[in-house]
Structure formats: structure tokens, C-alpha cells
Amino acid sequence: MTSLSSPGKLTLREVIVLGLLAAMMIGTKIALAALPNIHLGAVILTFAVAFFGWKALYTAAIYILLEGLVYGFGIWWVSYLYCWPLLVAALMAVRKKDSPLVYSAVAAAFGFAFGALCEIPYLFLIGWKASFTMWMAGIPFDIVHGAANFALCALLFPPLQKLGKHLQPIMQK
């Protein structure tokens, strides 16, 4: 497992790269907006976790803030506060395996579960029956989300892994 992260506090290079990764998450999401629930958010965050460990939480935090600034701080945004850190935690749990396949499986599970996770704030606002119906109605989007996450991660993570290894000498100068 190659790490681009320095122990302890963030270095200037890490601040730049982690920030750029968050910008890429929102940028690619907007670019792919025509394709519902198909985006590179999970792939990019997987790269951040694989090479920066828990510091990927900074990328997740910046991305969450940018989502709110671009689309507005609605109730859905509250769910982002725990959904994306949860993905970081899940990816950290399998980080030692350093396997594109395992990362892809985690990204797929995240996509499949995303709709259900996002319903938690609505449970308190509209009750379990209405939020359960909302989740059920959105299942086709969750299926697309999970399948796309799996395919994109399986396809794009191996070249990103190579890129990370090339970046290592630059990051640790």
C-alpha cells in the first residue's frame, strides 16, 4: 500500500491535493449531471482514502460544503454530513487490502444504500411511512448509483492507483 500522506498535521501539498480532489468531485458531478446518479464522487474519494487515509475526511468535508454552496443547504444536505464520512470510514476499514475489487464493492454498497441513508433526516420530519415510500420510489436511482459506482471504481481505480504511486516522490519531497 502506497501512501501519499505525511504523518501528523497537513502539509501544504496535502492541503492542495485534498482540496483539488474535492473540487474534482463536485466538478465531475456537475459535468455528468445529465446522467442521473452516475458520477465520480466515490471513485475520487476512494483514491483519497487509498493514498491519504483518514485525511480523506478533509476532501469529504470540502465536497459537502461545496455541494451546499452549489445546490443550497436543503434537508438532503444534512444527510451528506454523515453519508460521505461514512464512506470514508467504510473504505478505511478495507484499506489494508488495497484491492480495487474490494474498494469497488464498498463503493457499490454505498451507492445501493445511499437512498436509504438519505432518508434518516426525513424520518424525523415526515414519519417512517412517508420516508419509507420516498426511499422505495427512489430505488431505481440507487440501483444505477450502486452499479455505476462499482463499474467506474473497477475501471478507473487501477490507473489511479498507478498515478498515486508516481506521485509519491513528489508528495513526500
Shortest separation between residue 87's beta carbon and other proteins, angstroms: 16
Query: Which residues in the 13-72 window bind other proteins by CB under 8 A?
Result: none
**CA-to-CA separations, 146 to 1, 17, 104, 142, 143, in angstroms, rounded:** 26, 26, 10, 6, 5
CB of 153 to other proteins, least distance (A): 11
What's the rounded Cα separation, in Å, for the pair 17 and 12? 9
Residues 91-110, mask of contacts with other proteins (x by CB under 8 A):
----------xx-xx--xx-
Q: Does 140 bind other proteins (CB under 8 A)?
A: yes
Contact residue for other proteins among 63, 84, 122, 150 (CB under 8 A): 150
| Grid cell for residue 116 | 436509504
Beta carbon of residue 168, minimum distance to other proteins (angstroms, whole number): 27
Assess 156 for contact with other proteins (CB under 8 A).
Answer: no
d(CA 91, CA 93): 5
For residues 103 and 110, what is the distance between their CA atoms, to the nearest angstrom?
11
Which of 149, 171, 24 has the alpha carbon at shortest distance from 91?
A: 149
Site for other proteins in 107-126 (CB under 8 A): 108-109, 112
Contact between residue 149 and residue 109 where contact means Cβ atoms under 8 Å apart:
no
Torsion of CA 17, 40, 102, 60, to 10 degrees: 50
Tell me the number of residues near other proteins by CB under 8 A.
17
Choose the binding region for other proteins from 21-29, 45-53, 69-77, 136-144 (rule: CB under 8 A).
136-144
Instruction: Give the residues lining the site for other proteins (CB under 8 A).
Output: 101-102, 104-105, 108-109, 112, 133, 136-137, 139-140, 142-143, 146-147, 150
